[in-house]
Structure 1
């Protein structure tokens, strides 16, 4: 059972979705546990306290989120000692960015955000305020890189160079700050979350199809910032949805749920992100291309599924469950091998395993719990 369920009756929402027929081929909790166990067996390095130490550090943060979410939803504590081990080893000052002073403060605001959100889930799971404190420290660290000058606001993603105001850094911050307000009642977090959300809406990163592009470009001649028309990566849409969900949960203003539903529906109706031929989420900018998807990009779809699941449980009738089931069924049938590891494309075929692909599939199954 989830610890909190808010029912927001939004009339006619289900009818806005494309009809997809699906039934789960396997119990989601069984599939989720199998995916997590396979992730641990194939990729976890206990001496390092992370999965695949050669892969980007943030991916272990989102993999930890998948594991913690699984325990939070199911009541299992099977991986709690592992989670403690990971946190204790990874919260130390980072060898490549010791200026952060530890507690997951990294050389980019988005990397910090992934781990901070995992700390909030660890707090939810254990009630231990040490994890809440870490998330609060990380929020302040990220907020330090907000400026009102370039682009009229927003958080820089690259701390070293102080460049690029993009969707993921700001969406993660909105979700983190709103979630902190929900857990602490501290008004500064809501004030900051609302300011960041208003700036995001007005920034131009949301395009005419109601989808979120990668970030902003500044015209050096006049200082005006505009949508860079970068890819509408699935994870961008997901984290924006997640931030809107947290704003709703802390304010109970259904405007945020309606905005989240608009974005979710745009993803489902997009012929690029959800090709009609498969009905399966696709990161079109890398899947099926000659270059393929790198490790970062292999992680993206599971992050979308995680956040869509957070929206789905708040709405009467769970209107997005069918879409999640369609993706899970396809991944299970077409993109999985005998070891319960998953490939990049959830519409198949299986193309080998990696930590990024596996945490993405685990997050997809957890979203159905």
Structure 2
């Protein structure tokens, strides 16, 4: 079963912030520091190993510390954003902030006092309000459809947090749903979610590939996994969590119902159109042949012979027939929240079954033995690429060579964020279109779901420990969680073995240059990265390339939240 949220011991709130300023000193001393900073709990006890959790209680302070570094080092209140991010990564990080607030809200018993805990919530909620006004919503409206859908998920996550916190901490007999002041922001957050869902839904296209979302309206048609997964997740989230919206801006007009004197708000809660969109998109994705032999979602499809520049030479082909075999971690994550939501909206167990198969395939592709629940044994030979990582640690193909782009630095956190949503405890009843559903079948589903999710705990812990091992003296997480502690150590194979026709355009190219070829397109390693490493003599492999960034820090927050929410670290 999922662990009780009450840990075995009460953590002193002040100690959490001692984590932030904990002196790390020399590299040798830094290596002795623990994930949970064991000295916080008892100064007479030796420090734990550098990347080890002995029990679940160590996860919460590590998570809060990572969140504090994210906000204190990378967020500017006066700008209302994370200046070093780009529009879509800022939207994702804002989503993490909302989910982090939800975790803090439900973990009050593990903190020192109601007053201090509430102060922490209000501190970070003020950052979330600033992020709403600091978000460049106008620019995002002009971008790709996946960029728009990240916005939808972000503000719906904020609505979920406000409702949950209000109910848990401000409910009374006169106000069973709570009356926390933050509810005043729900209409604004909901409005932005609706506007961006409506804009993004224009990307649904049936003229090519018999359906599916187009990635970018300004480039040649590309129907990729992430945009369709986001559309599924955003649509079902709109159905489940969108509270309605009476605000007609910025596209207000007097429609027939308004002219007739009928009150018809532009957006209503639990609108069946959102559920229908999610079901249709999921059906299309399932039938699109978008998974490889390992069960992982590849990047997407082009339509061969299609040309925007020379339409007169365009073939009449409308099939998705040129598949890019590149695999990224986030393509395996976003769908999980969609599958979870579709189950809650329909009661169909197949959505949960599909999700658990995907998680198992991801874990297997990191080299982890899920049957015996352990990492592969260490050998004297370099750890080999298993399709999505090595040695049981999730990894991007660009991690080891050190040329990950800003996009790719965000991906692993996205996977763990959506895994946390997928594996959270199922509700005790489902509100389906034809009524409320409770009964033995729901109880059986919940029991099976808990059993399967519990299997992932050790793997989550393994990845959290690997992520924590990348922290520098300022508490900043690196990108390559499986990196050796020093550059030059010969215990890894730096080159991921990519399949034929795998184009890593997130890091080394652009989609409009993608060509269908009988030969694999070689992955070009950024020579500037290699030259930079030679010049600085980088000892820390996570200092290469873009180094430690707001995106890599957010990944640390996401994996530590997953550890706290989903495991007891046994």
TM-score, normalised relative to structure 1: 0.85
Confirm or deny that 1:177 pairs with 2:235. yes
* Structure-1 separation of matches of 2:190 and 2:346: 20
Question: C-alpha deviations, 1:235-262, integer Å up to 9, x for none?
Answer: 0000122211121122221110110111
- 1:202-281 map, 5 Å: 202-220=287-305, 221=315, 222-226=317-321, 228-270=323-365, 271-275=386-390, 278-281=391-394
Structure 2 contact 87–136 (Cα < 8 Å) conserved: no
Counterpart of 1:81 (choices 126, 132, 140) is: 126
Q: CA RMSD in A?
A: 2.2
Aligned to 2:162: 126
Compared with structure 1, are the counterparts of its residues 248 and 193 closer, same or farther at alpha carbon in structure 2 (3 Å cutoff)? same
* Structure-2 separation of matches of 1:206 and 1:136: 30
Compared with structure 1, are the counterparts of its residues 199 and 22 closer, same or farther at alpha carbon in structure 2 (3 Å cutoff)? farther
Confirm or deny that 1:166 pairs with 2:281. no
Larger radius of gyration: 2
**Structure holding more helix per residue:** 1
Compared with structure 1, are the counterparts of its residues 159 and 45 closer, same or farther at alpha carbon in structure 2 (3 Å cutoff)? farther
Structure 2 contact 204–214 (Cα < 8 Å) conserved: yes
Task: Give the superposition deviation at 1:63.
Answer: 1.0
* Structure-1 separation of matches of 2:274 and 2:399: 37
Compared with structure 1, are the counterparts of its residues 122 and 263 closer, same or farther at alpha carbon in structure 2 (3 Å cutoff)? same
Question: C-alpha deviations, 1:54-92, integer Å up to 9, x for none?
Answer: x32111111111111011122034300010001012154
Compared with structure 1, are the counterparts of its residues 210 and 23 closer, same or farther at alpha carbon in structure 2 (3 Å cutoff)? farther
Structure 2 contact 301–320 (Cα < 8 Å) conserved: yes
Aligned length: 336
Structure 1 contact 23–326 (Cα < 8 Å) conserved: no
Q: Which runs of 5+ in 2 are unaligned?
A: 6-51, 106-120, 164-185, 242-268, 306-314, 366-385, 426-448, 486-539, 566-570
Higher relative contact order (CA 8 A, sep 6+): 1
Question: C-alpha deviations, 1:120-142, integer Å up to 9, x for none?
Answer: 01111224233222212211111
Structure 2 contact 228–281 (Cα < 8 Å) conserved: yes
* Structure-1 separation of matches of 2:200 and 2:55: 39
* Structure-1 separation of matches of 2:57 and 2:398: 29
* Structure-1 separation of matches of 2:222 and 2:324: 14
Compared with structure 1, are the counterparts of its residues 24 and 338 closer, same or farther at alpha carbon in structure 2 (3 Å cutoff)? farther
* Structure-2 separation of matches of 1:304 and 1:256: 18
Counterpart of 2:406 (choices 295, 300, 314) is: 295
* Structure-2 separation of matches of 1:244 and 1:22: 30
Aligned to 1:40: 71
Question: C-alpha deviations, 1:34-66, integer Å up to 9, x for none?
Answer: 11111122222233221134x321111111111
Aligned to 1:15: none
Compared with structure 1, are the counterparts of its residues 116 and 92 closer, same or farther at alpha carbon in structure 2 (3 Å cutoff)? same
Aligned to 1:323: 459
Structure 1 contact 119–131 (Cα < 8 Å) conserved: yes
- 1:97-176 map, 5 Å: 104-127=140-163, 128-161=186-219, 163-176=221-234
Compared with structure 1, are the counterparts of its residues 132 and 217 closer, same or farther at alpha carbon in structure 2 (3 Å cutoff)? same
Structure 2 contact 304–322 (Cα < 8 Å) conserved: no
Q: Which runs of 5+ in 1 are unaligned?
A: 6-20, 95-103
* Structure-2 separation of matches of 1:117 and 1:154: 19
- 1:9-28 map, 5 Å: 27-28=58-59
Compared with structure 1, are the counterparts of its residues 78 and 252 closer, same or farther at alpha carbon in structure 2 (3 Å cutoff)? farther
Task: Give the superposition deviation at 1:28.
Answer: 2.1
Aligned to 2:87: 57
